[in-house]
Chains A and B, each alone.
Chain A
Amino acid sequence: MRKKLAAILAAALAITGCVQPGPVGSAGSASPPSASTAFPKEVLIGAVYPLTGSQAPTGLDLKNGIDLAVELINSGKTDFDLPLVKDGGGLKSLGGAKLKIVYGDSQADPQKGQSETERLITSEKVTAMLGAYNSAVTATASQAAERLGTPFVNPESSSPTLVTNGYKWFFRSTPDDSMFAENFFQFLDDAAKKFPGKVAKKVAILHTDDLFGSDVNKFSRQFAQQYGYEVATDAAYKANTPDLTSEIQRLKASGAGILIEASYLPDATLAIKGLKQQDVNFQGILGMDAGFVDTKFIPNVGKDAEGLISREVWAKDLAAKKPLVKQVNDLFKSRYGTDMNGTSARSFTGVFVLADAINRAVSLEPGKIQAALRKTDLKGAQIIMPWDGVSFDERGQNTKGRGIMVQVQKGEYVTVWPVDLASKELVWPVPEWSKR
């Protein structure tokens, strides 16, 4: 009954000219939809994110990124060099079908994330899923999608374990924490090329004793060995510790030239002040995101932040080398009043990964979309991320992702690595505290 109705509707639409013709003329096209198949008018995509609760502000960033991507894909803008967008909008191969996002609210709770994913797939009948930011939620949500055989694109969760389950329907476009840890040493190697003899081979690691900090320590140690660096010491501390004196003394005694640090905001602040007060100097201090990129970090630490380096996922000054970043960020800012950040930029990119695959699948069949995702090959120039592109390995992990390194210069974080995307020259080594 429903099929009949759909056919009648489609016929009516075709007559009135509402549906654009599909690529029928393209001879040799892999599997052109048969004439009897009506093009869908809308493609429903489910998106599970923490939209309410303590993480609602982050949820809003994520939603804004997704909404802008959908708007661009649906309306098309020929001056934007983004896939689908520059071709005039809509999913071309599906007769210009529009994307429609159906949101589910995880409240950052793994259980809610799972039930919302099930609801979106079974009751809302979404074609594919996006989500879910929090690694713990992504774990349960992707499990549900796996069970229900629905493609799941994860644009922004960085826990390395998410791609170790052997899932067939899970695809992660963001680099994970181990890749970010590797970036530290690739960055140091590049710095050594630029400043020969000035980059030490001995590093020290200061980290929180929770999962985040311990993982950073583990992966840093692993990649240090691989890249020929020596970890002279590591010091673990409890987050929000009242004092870091003995930790700092241990770092000093180790004789390391470089410090890698995984800290939240209060500890990051305490550490930098302590290093200065006890006059402990490193050629460079490399922060692992978290506290170092908090918007309060530079205001709190003041001029002592100068020269600090942190790992980041995205920065708006990438626009210096990628004009597309400025185009998209300007539009984002005019819509939502704030600049994009690493969170919204990644959810924005996730929509393109999924839309590109559905367009190439020329079908809404889950299996065909899954196969198309496997063959994803987005180029670096087609995305607003600092990546070499997007293409997935057999685990579903994007192998072309990478982080960037930002350095505080004149009170602002600027991109200094990778070299081809840097907006400013790296300052190395940073001056000793007593000479500032």
Chain B
Amino acid sequence: MDILAQSVTSGVLLGLILALSAAGLTLIWGVMDIVNFAHGDFLMLGMYGTFFAWSILGLDPLVALPGVVIALAAVGVVVYATIIRPVLRGSVLAQIFATFGLGILLRGLAQFFFSPAFRQVGETASSGIVAAGPVSVGREQVVAAAGALIVSLLLFAILDRTTLGTALRATAEDRTAAELMGIDSARMFALAWALGAGCVGAAGALLAIYFPIFPDVGATFGLLAFVTVALGGFGSVTGAVFAGILIGVVVNLAGVLVDPSYKFAIAYALYLVVLSIRPQGLLGRA
């Protein structure tokens, strides 16, 4: 029983981070039907940004977070303007390979400039242990998960309660109708990239509190983000958050109840089963 409580708690904490990074990915898809294969590498950039803010400027990751989010949002807009907008006129394949190539480029640049060495943020204000009954977890994980939850809620607020968010959702719903209503879709696309990249930047900053940082770190989380998005339903931000937590818990329970070697295989199997019953994902539009 203790082991189950421990596993579920750790799963939820990991799931909230997955959820935030997946929310950014699904947002871009929802608005303009493009899968950003460089998403995991954006996460890597966010982690490095946080690391250097800590190691060079001495900033706590939580203090650095707003700056990292703004920087990544800017990266998102630049990528949209320089790479995505031109390939929108090309074939679907061109769109896929553009972001795929961007991811490889970012990884290569990180390897070149930051070296393949593993970095790690040392002791921060978040370091410590939180114990409650049979459950004992790192305070940094709790802080990171709480941060991810807050940023996710902020994203919901922006999408749901602001005029910009309404315009964004209108574009996602029906681009032509939205344009007829006077919404500039190019600006909405740029906004989607800014928000999407900003979210994954926040996830990177939070993850950097406790996870090692290296050029390929995006690959580890990128795949999980794609599965999370597909499970939650392409384009559904709520679905992505829900699926993120679900995957986190399933992975950990499978590790304890079955065998740790198969924990990801079981999570992916669950995803295939769900998709065979509901191809649009848990909360996706049919």
Binding site for B on A (CB under 8 A): 54, 209, 235-238, 240-243, 245-247, 249-250, 252-253, 265-266, 269-270, 273-274, 276-279, 294, 296, 299-300, 302
| B118 touching A277, Cβ below 8 Å | no
| A302 touching B261, Cβ below 8 Å | no
Could you give 10 example pairs across A and B, Cβ below 8 Å?
A240-B216, A243-B10, A246-B254, A250-B256, A266-B118, A266-B212, A269-B118, A273-B138, A277-B138, A299-B120
B226 in the interface (beta carbon within 8 A): no
B264 in the interface (beta carbon within 8 A): yes
Point out the residue from A209, A243, A273 that lies within 8 Å of B252, measured CB to CB: A243
Given contacts A236-B260, A240-B216, A245-B252, 16 further A-B contacts (CB under 8 A): A54-B116, A237-B260, A238-B264, A240-B214, A240-B217, A245-B11, A247-B255, A252-B3, A265-B212, A266-B118, A266-B212, A270-B211, A274-B138, A278-B6, A296-B119, A302-B122
| B212 touching A300, Cβ below 8 Å | yes
Query: What does the 1/0 interface line of B79-95 toward A look like (CB < 8 Å)?
Result: 00000000000000000
| A246 touching B255, Cβ below 8 Å | yes
Query: What does the 1/0 interface line of B243-266 toward A look like (CB < 8 Å)?
Result: 000000001111110001101100
Point out the residue from B137, B217, B260 that lies within 8 Å of A235, measured CB to CB: B260
Taking the nearest CB of chain A, how far is it from the CB of B234, in angstroms?
22
Given contacts A245-B255, A278-B136, A302-B122, whether A250 and B260 have CB atoms under 8 Å apart is yes
| A245 touching B10, Cβ below 8 Å | yes
| A242 touching B10, Cβ below 8 Å | no
Report the separation of the CA atoms of residues A238 and B255 in the bound assembly, to the nearest whole angstrom.
Answer: 13
Chain B residues in 8 Å Cβ range of A240 = 214, 216-217, 219-220
| A279 touching B3, Cβ below 8 Å | no
| B211 touching A245, Cβ below 8 Å | no
* Interface of B: prevailing SS: helix
Binding site for A on B (CB under 8 A): 3, 6-7, 10-11, 14, 116-120, 122-123, 129, 131, 136-138, 141, 210-212, 214, 216-217, 219-221, 224, 251-256, 260-261, 263-264
Report the separation of the CA atoms of residues A247 and B264 in the bound assembly, to the nearest whole angstrom.
Answer: 12
Point out the residue from A246, A265, A279, A300 that lies within 8 Å of B260, measured CB to CB: A246
Given contacts A245-B255, A266-B212, A270-B211, whether A279 and B264 have CB atoms under 8 Å apart is no
Residue of B nearest to A297 (CB): B118
| A242 touching B224, Cβ below 8 Å | yes
Residue of B nearest to A245 (CB): B10
| A277 touching B260, Cβ below 8 Å | no
Chain A residues in 8 Å Cβ range of B212 = 265-266, 269-270, 300
| B6 touching A242, Cβ below 8 Å | no
Report the separation of the CA atoms of residues A266 and B215 in the bound assembly, to the nearest whole angstrom.
Answer: 12
Chain B residues in 8 Å Cβ range of A246 = 7, 251-256, 260, 263
Residue of B nearest to A250 (CB): B260
Residue of A nearest to B137 (CB): A277
Report the separation of the CA atoms of residues A242 and B255 in the bound assembly, to the nearest whole angstrom.
Answer: 13
| A300 touching B136, Cβ below 8 Å | no
Taking the nearest CB of chain A, how far is it from the CB of B246, in angstroms?
15
Chain A residues in 8 Å Cβ range of B216 = 240
Point out the residue from A242, A277, A299 that lies within 8 Å of B221, measured CB to CB: A242
Chain A residues in 8 Å Cβ range of B251 = 243, 246
Chain A residues in 8 Å Cβ range of B252 = 243, 245-246
Residue of A nearest to B128 (CB): A277
Chain A residues in 8 Å Cβ range of B263 = 246
Report the separation of the CA atoms of residues A238 and B118 in the bound assembly, to the nearest whole angstrom.
Answer: 17
Chain A residues in 8 Å Cβ range of B131 = 279
Given contacts A240-B220, A270-B212, A273-B138, whether A249 and B117 have CB atoms under 8 Å apart is no
Residue of A nearest to B139 (CB): A277
Report the separation of the CA atoms of residues A266 and B138 in the bound assembly, to the nearest whole angstrom.
Answer: 17
| A250 touching B138, Cβ below 8 Å | no
Report the separation of the CA atoms of residues A398 and B233 in the bound assembly, to the nearest whole angstrom.
Answer: 60
| A253 touching B3, Cβ below 8 Å | yes
Chain A residues in 8 Å Cβ range of B11 = 245
Taking the nearest CB of chain A, how far is it from the CB of B219, in angstroms?
8
Taking the nearest CB of chain A, how far is it from the CB of B120, in angstroms?
4
Report the separation of the CA atoms of residues A299 and B14 in the bound assembly, to the nearest whole angstrom.
Answer: 25
Point out the residue from A54, A238, A249, A266 that lies within 8 Å of B214, measured CB to CB: A266
